[in-house]
Amino acid sequence: MKKLVFSLIVVLALVLGACAPAATPSPTKEAMVEPTAEPTEVMLKDIVDTAVADGRFGTLVSAVQAAGLVDTLKGEGPFTVFAPTDDAFKALPAGTLEGLLADIPALKNILLYHVLSGKVMASDVAGLNGQMVDTALEGEKIAIKVDGDKVMLNENVGVIITDIETSNGVIHVIDAVLLPPTGEMSKLDIVDTAVADGRFTTLVAAVTAANLVDTLKGEGPFTVFAPTDEAFAALPEGTVEALLADIPTLTNILLYHVAPEKLMAADVVALDGKEIPTALEGQSLKVTVKDGKVYLNDTVEIIITDIETSNGVIHVINAVLLPPTK
């Protein structure tokens, strides 16, 4: 009897097992992840369309259109564009922009001076520290200086935003308009070149106060060693104001910055250890070349050279030259 009951239980278990639905395998972790769509590639605009869409470069875009450079900057490239903001154009001397828009060849040259051939990203700039790089304006270069995390072009124009990538290059934003040292600027005389440059407002004010404007707008040729506004600001407090109140002394100091001949950078270097006679009668400037740098009177460094003008050349210096007292 017990054997019969046991046999019935076994048979029943087998029947129930046969009737049970097959177990469904648990999905793997991979199977539970739904397939995702392929990432969409960001479509970059070209340099011109990127500038238009940005909104900070309305004046630059208008200038590019007026100069007929739209097709060039929409081309294959690659290009690197140093793009002045609208505020940078507003900072130009009154009437400058209007004058350029009326002189398309000059406008075109200035715009091409903001363009490099090739794609130069911010990380590449460090390797260009202290170098002069070719621009799209034939024969003209931009000086690059890296000071910590700041990048300066031609000493006075700051790169404030970097690496705006486009389909045909890259844009770096700058805080001032770059003006080529030669070419179109050579049509201006020494005084007008200094005014247009923007780095020499104190010098121009001093030249005006000393009644030397007509002299430096004359036939020449002249070589002017031009102190920047920062150089004047470094003088002891009250010095500039005192000089503006003492015109004979101011005149002598200004004439001490002028040589009555055209001396390009190569000519100055060749005078290492010698002296340059100045327009201040009886006074000369001693030239010293050391470690690739050129100094006047041992302490004043020439930091930018060969800004050609219609009546001579300007070399930029980092301090005010003071004639020796007799």
Domains annotated on the chain, with CATH: 47-174 (2.30.180.10), 183-317 (2.30.180.10)
Mean pLDDT (whole number) for 217-239: 93
Q: Tell me what pLDDT residue 41 has.
A: 53
More confident residue, 28 or 293: 293
Q: Is the pLDDT of residue 183 over 70?
A: no
* DSSP-assigned letter for residue 21: P
pLDDT at residue 49 above 60? yes
Please indicate whether residue 105 or residue 47 has the higher confidence score (pLDDT): 47
Statement: residue 9 has pLDDT above 50: no
Return the pLDDT at 94: 73
Asked if residue 277 lies in contact with residue 260, where contact means CB atoms within 8 angstroms, the answer is yes
Instruction: Supply the pLDDT for residue 115.
Output: 97
Identity of residue 94:
A
Residue 248, preceding bond cis, omega within 30 degrees? no
Residue 24 has pLDDT above 60, yes or no: no
Confidence of residue 288 (pLDDT cuts 50, 70, 90): very high
Q: How confident is the model at residue 18 (pLDDT cuts 50, 70, 90)?
A: very low
Identity of the residue numbered 69: L
Q: Chain-wide mean pLDDT for the chain? A: 85
Confidence of residue 147 (pLDDT cuts 50, 70, 90): confident
Residue 183 or residue 217, greater confidence? 217
pLDDT score at 181: 67
Residue 10 has a pLDDT of 40
Has residue 12 got a pLDDT over 80? no
Q: Give the residue with greater pLDDT, 307 vs 14.
A: 307
Q: 113 vs 105, 196, 200, 249, CA distance in Å?
A: 12, 16, 21, 39
Judge contact between 139 and 49, C-beta under 8 A.
Answer: no
